[in-house]
Amino acid sequence: MSLRLGDIAPNFKAQTTAGEIDFYEYLGDGWGVLFSHPADYTPVCTTELGKTAALQSEFAKRNVKVLALSVDPLDKHLGWVNDINETQQVSVGFPIVADEDKSIANAYGMIHPNASETFTVRSLFVIGPDKKVKLMITYPASTGRNFVEVLRVIDSLQLTAGFSVATPADWKEGEDVIVVPAVSTEDAIKKFPKGVKVVKPYLRYTPQPNK
Ligand code: BEZ
């Protein structure tokens, strides 16, 4: 059975470019992003890890620890990091897991045999402080992910974890949000003193409550 939203993210111990880590200890009480890439020394993966490194301060600002993974060995990761740093003008500061026995890839369903029997696809999991899976995305090897979009989703996940709101299509930090259907308009007016705009009884907006 593969992982689904709301499931507990499996813990693991792993060899990484930053030494051996215990995943839960690495995450501490904060949020996490665990993402796989198909292989080291490949072009799209090089840009993805470079982009993630460029956004390290944005992840840190949101109390998110990042962990990359592929089934390549540690010495390969270590050599490749130099190339990422050189070609993407970054300094990769997050660990990369060497999951040679594929135990983590299998636990997280990162190998999709009809895409590749041997390599992980581009899976990405956002894990909350309760260690539950909050977001899963899967991209094929041919398509690099948008890590600014990952940050946008994390903003939504962190906001909606604390308030009875949801975020509309294309929402960005600072924009109006939606009052969840479970809250009556009468209660919403009390809960959200910045105001509630009722477009339809089921479509109600309020300014972002934590701004
Ligand atoms: C890449 O990262 O460029 C890549 C990896 C595996 C297959 C295709 C592309």
**Tens-place pLDDT, residues 33-46:** 999 999 999 999 99
Sketch the domain layout of the chain as residue ranges.
Answer: 13-144, 163-206
pLDDT tens for residues 158-172?
999 999 999 999 999
CA of 122 to the centre of ligand 1 (A): 10
Mutating to test ligand 1, I would choose from 37, 45, 84 the residue with most ligand atoms within 8 A of its C-beta, which is 45
CB atoms within 10 A of CB 55: 18
- Amino acid at the residue 53: A
pLDDT at 52 over 70: yes
User: Can you give the pLDDT at residue 151?
Assistant: 98
Does the beta carbon of 150 lie inside 6 Å of ligand 1?
no
* SS3 assignment for the chain: CCCCCCCECCCCEEEECCEEEEHHHHHCCCEEEEEECCCCCCHHHHHHHHHHHHCHHHHHHCCEEEEEEECCCHHHHHHHHHHHHHHHCCCCCCCEEECCCCHHHHHCCCCCCCCCCCCCCEEEEEECCCCEEEEEEEECCCCCCCHHHHHHHHHHHHHHHHCCEECCCCCCCCCCEEECCCCCHHHHHHHCCCCCEEEECCEEEECCCCC
Does the beta carbon of 157 lie inside 6 Å of ligand 1?
no
110, 120 in Cβ contact below 8 A? yes
CB atoms within 10 A of CB 116: 14
CA of 183 to the centre of ligand 1 (A): 46
45: annotated active-site residue: yes
CA of 23 to the centre of ligand 1 (A): 26
User: Can you give the pLDDT at residue 170?
Assistant: 98
Does the beta carbon of 39 lie inside 6 Å of ligand 1?
yes
Mean pLDDT (whole number) for 65-86: 98
**Which CATH number does 13-144 carry?**
3.40.30.10
155, 129 in Cβ contact below 8 A? no
pLDDT at 134 over 80: yes
Q: Which CATH superfamily is domain 163-206 in?
A: Antioxidant, Horf6; Chain A, domain2 (3.30.1020.10)
C-alpha 105/C-alpha 123 separation (Å) is 9
User: Can you give the pLDDT at residue 159?
Assistant: 98
Mutating to test ligand 1, I would choose from 37, 42, 123, 145 the residue with most ligand atoms within 8 A of its C-beta, which is 42
